[in-house]
Structure 1
Amino acid sequence: MQGRFLRGFTLVELLVVMAILMLLLTVAAPKYFNGIERAKESALKQTLVVVRDAIDKFHVDNARYPDSLEELAERKYIRAIPIDPITESSETWQLVAPEEEMPGELYDLHSGAEGQASDGSLYAEW
C-alpha cells in the first residue's frame, strides 16, 4: 500500500482561497448595501409622487382635500395605504394639513424617517 496518496487540499491552499474570497467581499459588500439604500430612496420618491398625485386628483374631483390616507384608499384613488420604504411602516407618514380656509385634513405628506438621504437632504423634507 505504499503507492497510495491521500488527496485533498492543504491548509495553505484553503487559506489562500479564503483570503481571496474575503478580498472580493470587502469590495462587493459596500456596493451592495449602498445599492439597497439607493433603491429604498428611489421607492420613497416614487411613492411620494404617486400619493401626492392622488391627493391632487381627489381635490379636483371633490373640491376638498381628503381627511386621511385611509379615505384615499377607500375611494380608490390609491390601492392601499403605502408603506414608507425607509421606515418599512405605513404608520410613520407625516401628514400636512391644508391652509385653514381649505376643507380637508390631508394636503401633503412626508416620510416619517429620521436621518439623511445619500444626497444630504432630510427624508422628512421630501
Structure 2
Amino acid sequence: MKLLRNLRRMNSDRRLAFAAARGRSAAGFTMLELMIVITIIFILLGMAAGSYQHSLVRSREAALKNDLFVMRQSIQQYTVDKQNGPQSLDDLVSSGYLREIPKDPITHAADWRVDFGDVLLSVDETSPGITDVHSSSDAVSPFENTPYSSW
C-alpha cells in the first residue's frame, strides 16, 4: 500500500517537473484544448439557432391560420346577422365582431387582402361584400410550399 502511494507521488512529481520545465502549470488547459471546446460551443449554438428559426416560422404560420379562421368566422357571422356582407374589415370591428383587426404575422401589419364576391353567403343576404380574407404576403411557406396569400 505504501509502495503504491510512493509510486503515485513520484509519477505526480515527475509530471509537475516536466510541466515546470516547459514553462506552464500542470493544472491549466492548452490552447488546443480551449480551441476545441470553443469550436464545440459554436457548433451547438449554430444548431440551436437553426431550431429557433424553425420554431419561429412555425409559430407565425400557426398564428396566421388562427387569425384567418377567426376573421372568416366573423365575416360569416356578420353576413348572417346583418343580411349583407361587410364592406371592409373595419365594419367587423365597429359592429363588435372583432376587437381589432389583427396584424398579419407574416407581414407584421394589418394589411390583409380581402376578396369581394358576387355570391351571396346567406339566403337572407341582400347585398354582397367581403367573402374571404388572405395574407398580403408574397412569401411561400417553407413547410407547405404554398404562398401565404393562398391560405
TM-score (norm 1): 0.85
What is the aligned partner in structure 2 of residue 35 from structure 1?
55
What is the aligned partner in structure 2 of residue 105 from structure 1?
129
Correspondence 1:124 to 2:149 = yes
Percent identity among equivalent residues? 34
Matches of 2:29 and 2:114 in 1, distance apart? Answer: 62
| Larger relative helix fraction | 2
Task: State the SS of the aligned residue for 2:130.
Answer: coil
Structure 2 spans left out of the alignment, 5+ residues: 1-24, 121-125
What is the aligned partner in structure 2 of residue 84 from structure 1?
104
Matches of 2:128 and 2:97 in 1, distance apart? Answer: 15
Rg larger in structure: 2
- 1:12-55 per-residue CA deviation (whole Å, 9 max, x = no partner) reads 34322211111112222211101100110111000000000000
Runs of 4+ that moved beyond 2 A: 7-14
Matches of 2:92 and 2:150 in 1, distance apart? Answer: 22
Write the letter of the residue equivalent to 1:121: T
CA RMSD of aligned residues (A): 1.9
What is the aligned partner in structure 1 of residue 16 from structure 2?
none
- How many residue pairs align between the two structures? 120
Structure 1 spans left out of the alignment, 5+ residues: none
Task: State the SS of the aligned residue for 2:110.
Answer: coil
TM-score (norm 2): 0.72
